[in-house]
């Protein structure tokens, strides 16, 4: 029987390999197919004993990653070989030297960038952040490292179903936190949308399926609407001899979800559920004029919303995206987003940076489109060169570089500068020159004097005012968003800061010696957490500056002693693997998760105050440095960062159906004001459902009532029941939970 299975698998592997070759054929030069075959054979041999969590042969994964590289990004032979071999160094006995000997230095360099760092990490550091930094160092030499990594991540997300729940949360959060913004920054919109959708699928399945069902339910009427909407436009485009293609597509599930959450509205009220895309085939020199001609045709039939016109043809986005967007009113009273672009622009929008290469190779390509991306990669390189802090600090700076929106501002001479959304006059000053930034005392925006922290808007004309006496201060970091400005300010502060850090470290060493405590990375990490600082250098700096009083370190010792007394009876854990081992020893081999409400006598855990989880909420446990295990909701505002940077400290946790305990929850109520409304609300809460309230605040303005109530409930079912009953009170329009 197994013989047949092995035979079937062999056939399936060959089938997938042949498909890869078929798709890649148009991109291959002579001799390339032989190299790909050799890489496939090496990978098959190296992974032959390995299987994925789903039980499938491991070789399916490199084959799928290579296929994504070709089919969905448009990469060539070097990338196919690197994708087929991307896991062999990490997972098998093969060394980078073997790869370099057989496939050349370029492939070896890319694989090195994709190989995780092994070894022991200092306590309190983040393995994910260190690996991410390593991968980005290679980005500055070869952007294909990131493109293959994104293909690898996309395949992992598509096959995440077979992973255990806590791993799903970790991988999905890391994807949303870093890889989706990275795909956006490299112009891979289809990647970005799918990664965000899959993140939602594995972190909030209920909402994901609800939106999918709603989209399916409205499919027939939507298609009918699109057909009617585009009919007159098609007739006119034909009459004017345009070569074109029109697509109607629904917005991504995640963008619909974001809108519902941001605006606190139901699915039915999301007005722009889909966009119409008009793609025209026209020569490069006519692109701009023809796109505006199509815009003119669309607006002859439908009235545009003047506030919703986006012209990314005259000024492309920093990631090279070019398109003309307008929102128009249809005959049925619905707003519809229309995107107008050429075939070249669509190719770049779908395939991002890889398509830029293709167009840059053509002599008459528009350099401006790729310029923004090349500039960004130069910025990343600068960031890497200047960064000697922790990997987590670097990740924070880098994520600040993945801004989704830009503002276009002008110098006094009329030169255009593109800055991230939220950029200030000080960011602009550093964009001009680091010395201009360091001496900046203010600015004139559209001839008006403004402070350095003034946020810039599209079209502002900015003149920077300087003084030789001015020098950067710590507060400046709060007034900038660009990594360039942050890096330059940090550089200026570094020398002064270095001395404070050294003084702080000396004081801490002295204090610990006086208290007969060991000075080690574990103790320092505990001190950092106790004083709620982000990094150990920040902790030393605050001690050196006197912001943290050295005598208060005594309080840490007392805290440790109390913890020790409490912990004598508790199991000791530092990460997920130590927790699983201890709980299995204590409660039997089938126990691998924390049971909330049952394990209090053996595990030190508390409910996180940032999201106040209640029974029924989807939760995870997080091993902290000082406060045992904290239970967070998977939708907690801090979940994304914890799961992305410290996945090894995430443990499985679930509620037990034990005796009812009261948990704090918050409700927001909106309605029309009337006499007796509060009395009716409190009756429902106290009398009907016997719920205790902690506080109620009410604000009434022009007949609109807004109130927040904090109350104690037993579970999500109890809370849902309460929301339902409150919604039925006369005058109440909306009841929703808040963190």
The residues that are catalytic are 90-91
Beta strands in 453-531 (DSSP E): 462-466
What are the phi and psi torsion angles at 316 (to 5°)? Answer: -60, 155
Tokens of 426: 């000080």
Per DSSP, what are the bridge partners of residue 280?
244, 342
Asked if 133 contacts 145 with a C-beta cutoff of 8 angstroms, the reply is: no
Rounded Cα distance between 44 and 88, Å, is 10
Nearest to 310 by CA among 406, 232, 194: 406
Tokens of 443: 């600015």
Instruction: In the chain, count H helices and then E strands.
Output: 30, 21
Nearest to 653 by CA among 627, 636, 673, 629: 629
**Most distant CA pair in the chain: distance in Å?**
89
The DSSP 8-state label assigned to residue 606 in this structure reads: E
Rounded Cα distance between 88 and 91, Å, is 5
State the residue for tokens 């030297």. Answer: 97
**C-alpha dihedral over 158, 164, 168, 169, to 10 degrees?**
170
Rounded Cα distance between 312 and 712, Å, is 50
HSE-CB of 581 using CA atoms within 13 angstroms = 7
Tokens of 88: 């062999």
Rounded Cα distance between 452 and 337, Å, is 37
- Taking the mean position of all CA atoms in its chain, how far away is CA 424? 23
Rounded Cα distance between 240 and 293, Å, is 10
Give the list of residues 6+ apart from residue 586 with CB closer than 8 angstroms, or none. Answer: 571, 602
Helix/strand/coil for 464:
strand
Count CB neighbours of 638 within 10 A: 14
CA angle 320, 325, 330 (to 5 degrees): 160
- Taking the mean position of all CA atoms in its chain, how far away is CA 368? 27
Nearest to 276 by CA among 243, 206, 228, 209: 228
Strand order of the β-sheet with 663-672 is 693-701, 704-713, 663-672, 732-738
Asked if 629 contacts 605 with a C-beta cutoff of 8 angstroms, the reply is: yes
What are the phi and psi torsion angles at 546 (to 5°)? Answer: 85, 5
What is the C-alpha R_g of the chain?
29
Say how many residues make up the chain: 739
For the chain, the first-to-last Cα distance in angstroms comes to 55
Rounded Cα distance between 265 and 670, Å, is 13
Asked if 267 contacts 256 with a C-beta cutoff of 8 angstroms, the reply is: yes
Nearest to 436 by CA among 460, 467, 476: 467
Helix/strand/coil for 159:
coil
């Amino acid at each position: 029987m197994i013989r047949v299975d092995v035979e079937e698998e062999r056939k399936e592997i060959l089938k997938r390999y042949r498909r890869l070759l078929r798709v890649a054929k148009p991109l291959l030069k002579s001799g390339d197919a032989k190299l790909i075959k050799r890489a496939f054979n090496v990978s098959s041999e190296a992974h032959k004993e390995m299987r994925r969590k789903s039980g499938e042969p491991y070789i399916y994964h490199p084959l799928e990653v290579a296929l994504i590289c070709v089919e969905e990004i448009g990469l060539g032979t070097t990338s196919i070989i690197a994708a087929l071999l991307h896991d062999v160094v990490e997972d098998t006995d093969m060394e980078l030297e073997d790869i370099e000997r057989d496939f050349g230095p370029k492939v070896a360099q890319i694989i090195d960038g994709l190989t995780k760092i092994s070894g022991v990490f200092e306590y309190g550091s983040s393995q994910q952040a260190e690996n991410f930094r390593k991968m980005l160092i290679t980005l500055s030499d070869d952007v294909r490292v990131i493109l293959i990594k994104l293909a690898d991540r996309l395949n992992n997300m598509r096959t995440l179903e077979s992973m255990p729940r806590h791993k799903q949360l970790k991988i999905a959060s890391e994807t949303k936190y870093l890889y989706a913004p990275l795909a956006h920054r490299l112009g891979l919109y289809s990647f970005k949308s799918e990664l965000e959708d899959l993140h939602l699928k594995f972190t909030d399945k209920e909402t994901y399926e609800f939106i999918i069902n709603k989209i399916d339910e409205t499919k027939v009427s939507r298609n009918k609407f699109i057909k009617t909407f585009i009919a007159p436009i098609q007739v006119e485009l034909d009459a004017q001899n345009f070569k074109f293609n029109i697509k109607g597509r629904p917005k991504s599930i995640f963008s619909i979800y974001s809108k519902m959450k941001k605006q606190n509205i139901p699915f039915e009220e999301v007005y722009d559920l889909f966009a119409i895309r008009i793609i025209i085939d026209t020569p490069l020199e006519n692109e701009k004029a023809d796109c505006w001609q199509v815009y003119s045709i669309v607006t002859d039939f439908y009235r545009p919303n003047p506030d919703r016109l986006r012209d990314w043809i005259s000024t492309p986005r920093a990631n090279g995206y070019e398109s003309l967007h307008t929102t128009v009113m249809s005959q049925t009273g619905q707003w519809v987003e229309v995107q107008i672009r050429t075939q070249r622009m669509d190719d770049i929008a779908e395939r991002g940076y890889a398509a830029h290469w293709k167009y840059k190779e053509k002599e008459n390509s528009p350099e401006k489109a790729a310029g923004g991306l090349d500039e960004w990669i130069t910025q990343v390189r600068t960031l890497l060169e200047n960064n000697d802090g922790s990997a987590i600090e670097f990740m924070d700076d880098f994520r600040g570089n993945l801004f989704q929106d830009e503002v276009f501002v002008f110098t006094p001479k009329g030169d255009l500068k593109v800055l991230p959304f939220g950029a200030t006059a000080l960011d602009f000053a550093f964009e001009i020159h680091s010395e201009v930034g360091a001496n900046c005392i203010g600015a004139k925006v559209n001839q008006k004097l403004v402070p350095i922290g003034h946020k810039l808007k599209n079209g502002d004309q900015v003149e920077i005012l300087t003084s030789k006496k001015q020098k950067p201060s710590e507060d400046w970091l709060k007034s900038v968003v660009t990594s360039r400005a942050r890096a330059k300010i940090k550089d200026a502060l570094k020398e002064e800061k270095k001395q404070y850090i050294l003084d702080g470290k000396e004081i801490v060493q002295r204090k610990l010696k006086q208290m007969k405590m060991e000075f080690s990375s574990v103790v320092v990490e505990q001190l950092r957490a106790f004083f709620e600082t982000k990094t150990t250098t920040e902790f030393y700096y605050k001690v050196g500056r006197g912001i943290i009083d050295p005598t208060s370190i005594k309080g840490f010792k007392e805290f440790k002693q109390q913890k020790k007394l409490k912990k004598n009876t508790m199991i000791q854990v530092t990460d997920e693997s130590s927790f699983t081992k201890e709980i299995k020893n204590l409660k039997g081999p089938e126990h691998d998760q924390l049971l909330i409400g049952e394990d209090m006598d053996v595990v030190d855990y508390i409910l996180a105050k940032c999201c106040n989880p209640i029974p029924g909420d989807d939760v995870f446990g997080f091993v902290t440095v000082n406060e045992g295990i904290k239970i967070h909701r998977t939708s907690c505002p801090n979940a994304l960062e914890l799961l992305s940077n410290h996945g090894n400290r995430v443990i499985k946790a679930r509620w037990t159906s034990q005796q009812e305990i009261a948990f704090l929850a918050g409700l927001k109520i909106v309605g029309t004001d009337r006499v007796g409304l509060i009395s009716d609300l409190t009756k429902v809460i106290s009398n009907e459902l016997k719920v205790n309230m902690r506080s109620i605040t009410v604000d009434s303005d022009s007949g609109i009532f807004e109130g927040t109530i904090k109350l104690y409930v037993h579970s999500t079912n109890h809370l849902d029941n309460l929301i339902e009953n409150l919604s039925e009170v006369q005058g109440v329009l909306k009841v929703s939970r808040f963190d």
